[in-house]
């Protein structure tokens, strides 16, 4: 196996930073060395990469993506090929996508479909969560089987989307009880979908059909209420670990913080769109342009304190993870399915390429430390979701590395840096005070010199263990 030395950089971990060299042997980290120590030990690497004046950090781990997801009469526009290449461009070296079972279909068939979509088509490593869209005896048995045999240790349930993915409280409780027995983690889309559907129907009947009404019909109260209910059900199910996805509202965050203060195993993520985008500046753009920013949970008003509270939540560890909920659609022919009826706009924003960049800009702005950037984008998602060799730079870990240039600049946009399979960017014109320099996946350089030099098929399926946070 060949060896590679990353020399001259500053290694950033969740616990600190220090000048150090990183020695890679084959696909793994062999050693973290003092600067120049390799030479004194007689180590002559096959390749040396100069990281002088740059940060060396674990490759990004995005645990919430949706590649090739059928929804709203169309399919998310990134395949596993295009989506994982875009992820690599953004310093992400592992994704966890969602194999999906809808009501009436088999969990095993849903998983097999996602394996077929991904196998041989990924440029970076990948794993799966399992969406349970129909809780019954068969799906409960399948949950246990997947934990024991398939390396799938997290299951997503929906309190929204009646008739498609929705589970009622009794079904949720049964799934949580099953997860409590197997040690699995429950992920929750926490919005009161029954009430939301009433508000949506009333808005359409009034003629309130523009994209901005997507947010007003999904009010913060219904996100907070569902979050509270999910927490109480998880408590009844034996304090089963619960992970609230794509949190957007202060009121929902307060429910998570209260649960954590009470000693419950409750975790939450937010996404870049909720930290940077807003109802007024994006979703309420003139005409139909706001459709570009339709996602669920929705963008919130900038006139309240949601964004400030989410940044604070990241600093205080009330929010453990930043993911993307990457679910891209083109404006042309896809988002346009909802012209004249916002409820028919496919829900989703593309962001897998830009998470590391956008959250680093939070470091520049003083919202987070460098260590917390690494922790929320790499280390914690890997630990929380049982990716035992990911998210850290230490001997024995996979050599997934991002070399980040803090002196560079990145301009995001379709004519600048944009590799996702979309005809627009939600972050058009955003400028980041830093730049992806070099990316390695399991010791192989996949991005360098502003070029993707990896290959489709390099990415491997990762069987995940139970959450490292809770054992």
pLDDT digits (tens, 9 = 90+) for 291-302: 999 999 999 999
pTM to 2 decimal places: 0.98
Taking 80 as the threshold, does the pLDDT of residue 327 lie above it? yes
CB 93 within 8 A of CB 125: yes
Q: What is the mean pLDDT of the chain?
A: 97
Q: Is the pLDDT of residue 38 over 70?
A: yes
Least-confidence region, from 98-102, 168-172, 226-230, 260-264: 98-102
| C-alpha closest to that of 168 among 95, 247, 226 | 226
Residue 462 in this model has a pLDDT that exceeds 70: yes
User: Are 127 and 19 in a shared domain?
Assistant: no
Question: Would residue 344 count as lying in a domain?
Answer: yes
Residue 424 within any structural domain of the chain: no
For residue 264, count other CB atoms closer than 10 A to its CB. 18
Are 357 and 281 in the same domain? yes
pLDDT higher than threshold 70 for residue 147: yes
Domain housing 436? 3-57+395-412+432-452
Which residues touch 268 (CB under 8 Å, ≥6 apart)? 243, 244, 245, 247, 253, 256, 313, 318, 319, 320, 321
37 and 154 belong to one structural domain: no
Q: What is the mean pLDDT of residues 8-30?
A: 98
**For residues 271 and 325, is the Cβ–Cβ distance under 8 A?**
yes
Q: Residue 1: its pLDDT value, please?
A: 82
* pLDDT for residue 97: 98
Residue 354 vs residues 42, 273, 351, 379: alpha-carbon distances, Å: 39, 11, 5, 18
Contact 118, 91 (CB under 8 A): no
Residue 14 pLDDT more than 70? yes
* Cis amide linkage into residue 297, ω under 30° from 0: yes
Sign for the CA dihedral angle at 10, 16, 22, 24 comes to negative
**Residue in this structure with the two tokens 């966890």, named with its chain if needed:** 96
Same domain flag for 166 and 119:
yes
Burial of 133 by CB count in 10 Å (0-12 exposed, 13-18 middle, 19+ buried)? Answer: buried
Same domain, 284 and 363: yes
Give yes or no for residue 42 having a pLDDT over 90: yes
Residue 471: pLDDT above 70? no
C-alpha distances in angstroms, 386 versus 185, 275, 307, 382, 398? 10, 26, 29, 6, 14
Residue pLDDT, tens place only, 420-431: 999 999 999 999
pLDDT of residue 454: 98
- Between CA 7 and CA 17, with CA 13 as vertex, the angle to 5 degrees is 65
In whole angstroms, what is the distance from residue 402 CA to residue 413 CA? 21
pLDDT band at 401 (very low <50, low <70, confident <90, very high): very high
- Count of C-beta atoms within a 10 Å radius of residue 252: 27
Residue 97 resides in a domain: yes
State how far the Cα of 471 lies from the Cα of 384, in Å rounded to an integer: 11
Q: Which residue has the tokens 């593309």?
A: 350
How much is the average pLDDT of 271-291?
A: 97
Strands 21-25 and 3-7: antiparallel
Beta strands (DSSP E) in 159-298 are 185-189, 242-244, 266-270
| Residue 103 pLDDT level (bands cut at 50, 70, 90) | confident
How many other CB atoms are there within 10 angstroms of residue 449's CB atom? Answer: 8
My answer on whether 276 and 401 are in the same domain is no
Tens digits of residue pLDDT in 302-312: 999 999 999 99
C-beta of residue 409 within 8 angstroms of C-beta of residue 430: no
Query: Residue 324 sits in a domain of what CATH number?
Result: 3.20.20.140
Question: According to the model, what pLDDT value does residue 102 have?
Answer: 80
| Whether 75 and 33 share a structural domain | no
């Amino acid at each position: 196996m060949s060896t590679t030395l990353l020399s001259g950089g500053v290694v950033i971990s969740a616990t600190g930073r220090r000048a150090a060299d990183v020695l890679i042997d084959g696909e793994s980290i062999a050693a973290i060395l003092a600067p120049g120590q390799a030479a004194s030990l007689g180590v002559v690497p096959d390749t040396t990469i100069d990281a002088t004046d740059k940060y060396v950090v674990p490759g990004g781990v995005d645990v919430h993506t949706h590649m090739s997801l059928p929804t709203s009469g169309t399919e998310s526009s990134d395949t596993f090929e295009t989506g994982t290449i875009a992820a690599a461009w953004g310093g992400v070296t592992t994704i966890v996508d969602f194999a999906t079972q809808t009501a009436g279909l088999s969990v095993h068939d849903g998983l097999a479909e996602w394996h077929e979509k991904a196998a041989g088509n990924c440029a970076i490593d990948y794993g799966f969560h399992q969406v349970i869209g129909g809780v019954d005896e068969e799906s409960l048995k399948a949950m246990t089987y997947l934990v024991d045999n398939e390396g799938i240790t997290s299951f997503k349930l929906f309190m929204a989307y009646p008739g498609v993915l929705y589970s009622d409280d009794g079904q949720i409780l049964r799934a949580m009880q099953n997860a409590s027995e197997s040690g699995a983690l429950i992920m929750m889309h926490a919005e009161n979908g029954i009430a939301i559907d009433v508000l949506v129907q009333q808005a359409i009947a009034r003629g309130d059909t523009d994209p901005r009404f997507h947010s007003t019909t999904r009010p913060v109260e219904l996100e907070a209420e569902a979050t509270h209910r999910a927490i109480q059900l998880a408590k009844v199910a034996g304090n089963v670990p619960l992970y609230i996805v794509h949190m957007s509202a202060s009121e929902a965050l307060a429910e998570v913080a209260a649960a954590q203060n009470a000693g419950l195993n409750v975790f939450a993520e937010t996404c870049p769109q909720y930290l940077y985008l807003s109802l007024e500046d994006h979703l309420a753009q003139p005409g139909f342009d706001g459709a570009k920013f339709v996602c669920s949970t929705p963008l919130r008003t900038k006139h309240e304190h949601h964004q400030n509270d989410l940044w604070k939540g990241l600093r205080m560890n009330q929010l453990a993870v930043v993911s993307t909920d990457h679910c891209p659609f083109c404006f042309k022919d896809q988002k346009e399915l909802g012209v004249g009826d916002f409820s028919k706009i496919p829900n989703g924003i593309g962001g897998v390429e830009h998470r590391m960049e956008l959250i680093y800009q939070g470091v520049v702005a003083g919202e987070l430390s460098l260590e917390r950037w690494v922790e929320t984008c790499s280390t914690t998602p890997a630990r929380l979701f049982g990716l035992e060799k990911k998210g850290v730079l230490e001997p024995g870990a996979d050599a997934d590395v991002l070399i980040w240039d803090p002196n560079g600049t990145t301009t995001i946009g379709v004519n600048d840096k944009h590799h996702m399979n979309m005809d627009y960017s939600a972050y058009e014109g955003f400028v980041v005070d830093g730049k992806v320099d070099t990316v390695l996946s399991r010791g192989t350089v996949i991005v360098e010199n502003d070029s993707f030099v990896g290959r489709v098929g390099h990415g491997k399926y990762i069987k995940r263990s139970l959450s490292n946070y809770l054992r």
